[in-house]
Copies of this chain bind each other. A is one copy, B any other.
Amino acid sequence: MTTLAELGEFDLIARIKARASRLHSRDVVVGIGDDAAVLRPRANEDLVVSTDALVEDVHFRWDNQSPASLGRRALLANLSDLAAMGARPVGFTLALSAPTSLTLTRIDGMLGGLLREAKAYGCPLIGGNLSRAKQTTMAITVLGAVQRGRALRRDTAQPGDAICVTGTLGGAGLALRKSGDSGSALRHLPKARVAAGRALARLKNAGACIDISDGFVSDLGHVLKASGVGAEIDLSRIPTPRAFARGCEQLGLDATKIALHAGEDYELLFTLRSLNGVRRPSEAALSKRLGVQVTEVGRVEKARGLRGLGASSSAAGFRHF
């Protein structure tokens, strides 16, 4: 099998460039191939920047998932960060380090998955860097744009805000435990909630927002800490996937715990308020607006700390902030 050593750096760059240049964007004036990429910001937009890295043997293994799925995953956390800011994707850079023994099959598969995912979100590869290393690392920096001053933040939750989540929680956590694999090789990758985040950023009622990568409780904790507030959560309202309780039971798992603490679902957690007489939309209206099921699960409170209401709150293992 052809390896990176046989292909050589310049051939690999040419290969990536040829594949990446198929995706055009009116935001990009100069793409791959110069000293730097050039983007043209649109009027009245702010620019959003986030960086995330996947490291071999830490975040992934080559042998328990397809290279294409790995490529998709490499972009997922970044796109989800854009979603949490309410931004549309503009482009991304890739710093790829890999052993010279890495096969072309794996590299091509990974790049294919990455670039397909990028295309699906309208987020072209605009530059990057290649280097050899002992283990494969994909460090991605993604750029997005959002209407000026409308970026969703963590530190803007206010007492009285409703706390909402998109989609369902716990599905990724259960799937991981089902596969008995700690290498987090999810068979069905979650989607980054980019469209929902953009719709949310357009709502005047929007408060704070974060994506749930670490787990509901942990990520809500980031919002509460940054905003200097507390919250009360109705545990009976935490939305979970179909057959989730039974699935957990079969594995002897505490369903509430998985839903509240397992990460990797990449749903959005956000707050909403009634504003100057503009009442906040109903769950149904919100779900329509955001294009995804929205569930109200609690309320922001002035008193610090996180309180869970409901039968299984003791099992939930809430940490108090």
Contacts and interface: CB of A to CB of B under 8 A. Distances in A.
Nearest to A37: B49
Per DSSP, chain A at the interface is strand
B133 A50 contact: no
Given A137-B133, A151-B30, A84 B47 contact: no
Identical copies in the complex: 2
Contact of A53 (B48, B52, B129): B129
B226 A33 contact: yes
A133 B139 CA distance: 12
A40 B35 contact: no
Interface stretch (A62-70, A141-149, A172-180, A236-244): A141-149
A313 interface: no
Interface residues of A, number: 58
Given A49-B143, A127-B50, A143-B49, A36 B81 contact: yes
A75 to B, nearest CB: 14
A93 B29 CA distance: 22
A51 interface: yes
Interface string A4-40: 0000000000000000000000000110011111111
